Homo-oligomer: A and B are copies of this chain.
Amino acid sequence: MTTIRDVAKLAGVSPATVSRVLNNKGYVSEEKLKIIDKVIKEMNFQPNQVARGLTKKSSKTLALLVTDITNPFFSELAKGAEKITQQLGYSLLLGNTGGNNPEKNADYMNFLKNKYIDGFIIATHDIDVEVLKKNYKSPMVILEADKDIENLCTIKVDNYHGAIEATKHLLSIGCQKIAHIYGPQYDATAKDRLRGFKTSMKHQEGSSGIEYPGDFSIMSGIESIQELLKKHSDIDGIFAGNDLIAIGVVKELNRLKIKIPEQIAVCGFDGITLTQITSPEITTIEQPIYKMGELAAERLIYRINHSFNETESIELKAKLVIRESTVKSAIDSKQ
């Protein structure tokens, strides 16, 4: 592997001058610049990132921490983040925290610490952000955080208004008894969605709302709908806390031969691709997940390069996407 000293020798200059050219920094005469540029190309020299990292205390690497990469929400996010990361000359470490104990996660973070990881995208709830913040002064972007975090960038979707839109939609197609299967309440996302549902159902003459606890998985959707139907046989609309729950609900309703949406209409939340492969396809509140990934990486790299550490919180809009599971005659009229 050719080093900066090889280049220097061949160009008849000192390594320091080559370094100045490489970093576009400090005085270099036109003449030498030309020679050095030429030699660099000739030798196809590329500076060793590790050596560079040692002095610069940087590795040109970001880390993305997700709960479970097989969850389509996270893999979509990862795809967006990876694209921008690579585009801007960084690489992306993947950390799957799911199921690990927080202690182990701390170990992992520590491990990364002395690798000079430049920044973190935190998209997991297995880690306490406050603890994190105390221990790591690295730039971070936190996704779906509970609230704004001082000196960090948070990116979230407006879950509250998204939930309102979902509920209003179900009401608008005539649902009178709507159940919301909500996610775990330590999760800010789940909390906001439940709040939106409550708000929408208030003062809603002729309609009533049921709240039922779930846990953001397909299985939870299946089990919840079974229980719900036992207690409330007259339910005619389900607002699922996320798409996975919605998928479970649709699956179980199909099995029970309950017609969607004629007997029960279903709306999810997230906008993962899976909602388009079920029969019927599921109406959902689509989050710009891919865009969130892109944005997270872009903001993180910006903060790294500009030593920017103001509190910054970005809220993206979610969008109602109407599909077969809430359109009465959809299946027949489609195509």
Binding site for B on A (CB under 8 A): 1, 46-51, 53-54, 59-61, 63-64, 68-70, 72, 75-76, 78-79, 82-83, 86, 89, 91-96, 108, 110-116, 218, 247-248, 250-251, 254-255, 273-274, 277-279, 331, 334
Bound complex: CA of A53 vs CA of B274, how far in Å?
42
Residues of B within 8 A of A69 (CB): 69, 75, 78-79, 82
Bound complex: CA of A208 vs CA of B148, how far in Å?
64
From B53, B112, B218, B274, contact of A91 by CB (8 A):
B112
Contact B49 A115 (CB under 8 A): yes
Contact B94 A334 (CB under 8 A): no
Beta-carbon nearest neighbor of A100 in chain B? B86
Beta-carbon nearest neighbor of A58 in chain B? B50
In the A-B complex, list the 10 residue pairs whose CB atoms are closest, starting with the nearest.
Answer: A254-B279, A94-B94, A75-B75, A49-B115, A82-B96, A70-B75, A50-B53, A48-B114, A69-B75, A50-B116
From B50, B75, B93, B110, contact of A92 by CB (8 A):
B93
Contact B82 A94 (CB under 8 A): yes
Q: What is the CB-to-nearest-CB distance from A230 to chain B, in angstroms, rounded to a whole number?
A: 15
Beta-carbon nearest neighbor of A89 in chain B? B111
Residues of B within 8 A of A334 (CB): 255
Q: What is the CB-to-nearest-CB distance from A164 to chain B, in angstroms, rounded to a whole number?
A: 28
Q: What is the CB-to-nearest-CB distance from A107 to chain B, in angstroms, rounded to a whole number?
A: 9
Contact A50 B59 (CB under 8 A): yes
Q: What is the CB-to-nearest-CB distance from A223 to chain B, in angstroms, rounded to a whole number?
A: 12
Bound complex: CA of A250 vs CA of B334, how far in Å?
16
From B78, B111, B278, contact of A279 by CB (8 A):
B278
Contact A51 B54 (CB under 8 A): yes
Contact A94 B93 (CB under 8 A): yes
Contact A70 B72 (CB under 8 A): yes
Contact A83 B112 (CB under 8 A): no
Beta-carbon nearest neighbor of A290 in chain B? B70
Beta-carbon nearest neighbor of A85 in chain B? B94
Q: Known interface pairs A92-B94, A278-B279, A279-B279. Does A115 touch B70 (Cβ–Cβ under 8 Å)? A: no
From B60, B86, B116, contact of A95 by CB (8 A):
B86
A selection of 17 A-B contacts at a CB cut-off of 8 Å is A48-B114, A50-B59, A50-B114, A50-B115, A64-B94, A68-B79, A69-B82, A70-B79, A72-B75, A91-B111, A92-B93, A93-B94, A251-B277, A251-B279, A255-B334, A278-B279, A279-B279
